[in-house]
């Protein structure tokens, strides 16, 4: 009889989930294809630091960190103590609580553009609030966007007229359920091309409420680009919103805007704001935010104190422990070790981008170091098509999962990743890359692959 699968319980739970949860999961980035589909676990039981334990009882070193939310590591003691203390006092009352003000003031001291603050419970929600405020403050309807900003109608409206989200999120999204009346209100622009943005602004400027974009992800924009975006929007009286939901506080305690020195009118935060507890924030200049007082923007759970005290504790810890420096140092050592290993083994792959959040590319040709085109580059292991690069990336992720490490071409480390984790990662990478190289040299890639090569998910414009 065959040995039971090491992820048998995960697979069983996923079958049950598909019966009762449309799509099988609440978050696309938790679909099983994100790491090594069919090999990596699907359901977690618990997490601590850099590690999670799956429902089959196996321990994994995690390079997902809950889609980057757990910047300090899972179940951080300081954040959890703050949350526990609050739970004993109640987490929501008929009245406001001073902690709400404490967080708002902390955000204003921390984030360059922040003079006023509204809360949310997640990133997509924070972006929807920012867009509502921008529309309300300017009296204009159109939004120019670049990248991914959540699931709400204002954003998916981009696909009503054309497949605009193909190059910003992933291909094939049908705007089912989005009112047709929103057609023409969300207009995409490509990242890094100032002339294209200027053209779009010239075409739509009198109707544009805001430009919303991720200022960076794993690689910086072309020199002067963001300064150019700032100038173009400012000259036309258009609100510039930086979506810092996913970059969060990886680069600086004041976010990417502090790191890059380009200050938008508004910014959105969630995820790493509260180290995994539900929380989001929209911050911005007084002139832009103040009109929100007259807009109907209100929700019971926005003052939930679990998220609020978690955010206060997380922001303080990010500064106290100098988390961006820790992430940079670990990332630099990971990149150096990984690239040396790949070179020694003789495989055409590289780890590149910012050390706070590096990327991996496998060459589409399978030989020679890749430059930038034709290589697998994606949030998931699956790349942008059934290319050789995609298969190599999938095989690598599969071999890492066999070695109890959840890793893909967009690994996310946390401040809890330590020397032992680095050693384990580099040792497993060496073994995995040797397997990939040997499969490549002997033409046995297909045979070696146990994972399913599903279509790509979350292909992002800004990496």
Ligand X SMILES: Cc1ncc(COP(=O)(O)O)c(C=O)c1O
Binding site for ligand X (CB under 6 A): 67, 122-124, 127, 148-150, 214, 243, 245-246, 270-271
Least separation in angstroms between CB 245 and ligand X: 4
The answer to whether 436 touches 393, Cβ cutoff 8 Å, is no
Report the C-alpha gap between 192 and 227 in whole angstroms.
11
Q: How far is the CB of 168 from ligand X (least distance, A)?
A: 11
Contact (CB, 8 A) for 409 and 357: no
- Cβ distance 305 to 99 under 8 Å? yes
Q: Which is nearer to ligand X, 214 or 265 (CB)?
A: 214
List helix spans (H) across 240-351. 256-260, 286-289, 305-320, 323-345
Nearest residue (CB) to ligand X, 273 versus 440: 273
Of all residues in this chain, which one has the CB nearest to ligand X in the complex? 123
- As measured in angstroms, the least distance from the Cβ of 392 to ligand X is 26
CB 83 within 8 A of CB 310: yes
Contacts of 16 (CB under 8 A, 6+ apart): none
Least separation in angstroms between CB 343 and ligand X? 32
Shortest gap between Cβ of 433 and ligand X (angstroms)?
28
Cα distances (Å, whole numbers) of residue 176 to 118, 153, 459: 29, 10, 20
Q: Which is nearer to ligand X, 214 or 421 (CB)?
A: 214
Burial bucket for residue 294 (CB in 10 Å: 0-12, 13-18, 19+): exposed
CB of 138 to ligand X, least distance (A): 21
144 phi, psi to nearest 5 deg? -95, 130
Q: How far is the CB of 246 from ligand X (least distance, A)?
A: 3
Which C-beta is closer to ligand X: that of 270 or that of 382? Answer: 270
When the beta carbons of 146 and 364 are compared against ligand X, the nearer one is 146
57 backbone φψ class: left, alpha, beta (φ>0; ψ -120 to 50): left
Closest CB to ligand X among residues 60, 148:
148
Nearest to 281 by CA among 240, 237, 253, 244: 244
Q: Please name which of 272, 409, 285 lies closest in space to residue 349, comparing C-alpha atoms.
A: 409
Nearer to ligand X, 157 or 392 (CB): 157
Q: Is 405 helix (H, G, I), strand (E, B) or coil?
A: strand
């Amino acid at each position: 009889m065959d040995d039971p699968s090491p992820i048998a319980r995960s697979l069983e739970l996923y079958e049950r989930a598909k019966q009762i949860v449309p799509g099988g999961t609440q978050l696309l980035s938790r679909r099983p294809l994100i790491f090594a589909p069919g090999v990596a676990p699907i359901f977690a039981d618990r997490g601590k630091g850099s590690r999670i334990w799956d429902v089959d009882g196996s321990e994994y070193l995690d390079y997902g960190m809950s889609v980057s939310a757990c910047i300090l590591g899972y179940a951080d003691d300081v954040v959890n103590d703050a949350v526990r203390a609050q739970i004993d006092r109640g987490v929501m009352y008929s009245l406001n609580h001073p902690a709400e003000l404490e967080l708002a003031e902390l955000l204003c001291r921390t984030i360059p553009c922040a003079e006023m603050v509204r809360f949310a419970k997640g990133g997509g929600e924070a972006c929807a609030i920012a867009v509502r405020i921008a529309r309300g403050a300017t009296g204009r309807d159109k939004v120019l966007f670049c990248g991914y900003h959540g699931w709400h109608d204002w954003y998916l409206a981009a696909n009503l007229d054309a497949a605009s989200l193909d190059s910003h999120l992933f291909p094939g999204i049908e705007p089912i359920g989005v009112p047709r009346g929103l057609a023409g209100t969300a207009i995409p622009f490509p990242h890094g091309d100032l002339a294209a943005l200027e053209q779009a602004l010239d075409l739509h400027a009198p109707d544009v409420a805001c430009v919303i974009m991720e200022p960076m992800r794993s690689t910086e924009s072309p020199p002067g680009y963001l300064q150019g975006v700032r100038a173009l929007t400012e000259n036309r009286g258009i609100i510039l919103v930086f979506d810092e939901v996913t970059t969060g506080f990886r680069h600086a305690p004041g976010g990417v805007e502090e790191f890059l020195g380009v200050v938008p009118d508004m910014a959105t935060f969630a995820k790493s704001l509260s180290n995994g507890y539900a929380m989001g924030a929209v911050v911005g200049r007084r002139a832009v935010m103040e009109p929100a007082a007259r807009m109907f923007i209100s929700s019971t759970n926005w003052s939930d104190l679990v998220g609020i005290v978690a955010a206060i504790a997380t922001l303080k810890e990010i500064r106290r422990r100098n988390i961006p420096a820790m992430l940079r140092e670990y990332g630099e050592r990971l990149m150096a070790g990984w690239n040396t290993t790949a070179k020694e083994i003789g495989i055409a792959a590289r780890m590149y981008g910012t050390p706070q959040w590096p990327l991996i590319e496998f060459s589409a040709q399978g030989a020679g170091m890749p430059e930038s085109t034709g290589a697998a580059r994606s949030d998931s292991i699956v790349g942008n098509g059934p290319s050789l690069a995609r298969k190599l990336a999938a095989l690598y992720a599969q071999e890492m999962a066999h070695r109890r490490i959840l890793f893909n071409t967009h690994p996310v480390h946390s401040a809890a990743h330590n020397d032992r984790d680095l050693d384990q990662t580099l040792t497993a990478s060496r073994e995995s890359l040797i397997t990939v190289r040997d499969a490549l040299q002997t033409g046995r890639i297909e045979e070696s692959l146990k994972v399913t090569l599903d279509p790509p998910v979350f292909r992002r414009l800004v990496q």
